[in-house]
Amino acid sequence: MTAPLTRFAPAPTGHLHLGHLVNAIHVWGLARARGGRVLLRIEDHDRVRCRPEFESALLEDLAWLGFEADGPLERQSDHPARYEAALHTLRERGHHLYACDCSRKDLAREGGDVPDRETPYSGRCRDRGLAFEPGRGIRLRLAPGEERFTDLLLGPQRQDPSLQCGDLLLRDRLGNWTYQFAVVVDDLAQGIDLVIRGEDLLQSTGRQIRLASLLGRPAPPRYAHHTLIRHPTGEKLSKANRDTALRELRAAGHSAVDLLGRAAAIAGLIPESAPLMVTDLAVLFSNRLPFESS
């Protein structure tokens, strides 16, 4: 792999926890092991849940831990024209965009009561001819067909976005750009060629590859999805569940090197917890992409 350009892209909807630290270790470790660069992107597309105080806190936490980005900080909220231009590109290329007035309750009724199962959008609004106006989302029709890719950590993958998620929501009814749309547009604009993230986002990859292609990206980024830190119940760590925040651990007297070592050990990157510095991370990842040559 040539020197990659990747990104660490937290959402300022709460304080960083150990799960975020595991992701940061993978991002900086894999990039540095291959002479690559890391950009810092604040994914604040959700204007309801994102808070300036959370952004300030996460920037402070990253600096305290020793993580340094290789370029200026970017915020999604600073680039509304970028997303409008991408939407225009999809229209210009003749892809089917349509307005959607489905609420969360509508979608929940379609999906039933099965937890943790993604139900593809039924296409209810596809042929209704609704006007594009405030209070309505925008969807992109996705044709059937597989996307095949090799995850650098998990190996060959096959996904059909039309069966997984149905027509893709690009902007919601509140006027927020969605995660799926914004990250594809940002990665294209910034030239990101390696995406390193948790395995909970593996199922997003096929639809993001498809969307990038529709926007004119000649080749998608490479992807590496790492394992997550989970509770004994199997649930992943979550800001919404008020899992232990890094700043709480810091306030309790833990040092940056201790937290880095603890997170690396929990992730299985070192045999047991021991003090670790950001400058040590590249050594951990010299041989940790089993499908790198695929």
The pLDDT tens digits for 171-196 are 999 999 999 999 999 999 999 999 99
Say which CATH topology domain 5-284 has. Rossmann fold (3.40.50)
Quote the pTM value.
0.92
> What span, in angstroms and rounded, lies between the C-alpha atoms of 281 and 86?
36
Instruction: Please report which confidence band the pLDDT of residue 1 belongs to, taking 50, 70 and 90 as the band edges.
Output: confident
- How many DSSP H helices and E strands does the chain contain? 10, 10
Rounded Cα distance, 4 and 72, in Å: 17
Residues 144/160, Cβ–Cβ less than 8 Å = yes
- Look at residue 241 and tell me whether its pLDDT is greater than 50: no
pLDDT at 238: 54
Number of other residues whose CB lies within 10 A of the CB of residue 174: 11
What are the pLDDT digits (tens) for 83-104? 999 999 999 999 999 999 998 8
Residue 217 to residue 89: CA distance in whole angstroms: 12
Q: Say how far apart CA 230 and CA 111 lie, in whole Å.
A: 25
Ramachandran area for residue 146 (φ above 0: left; ψ -120 to 50: alpha; else beta): beta
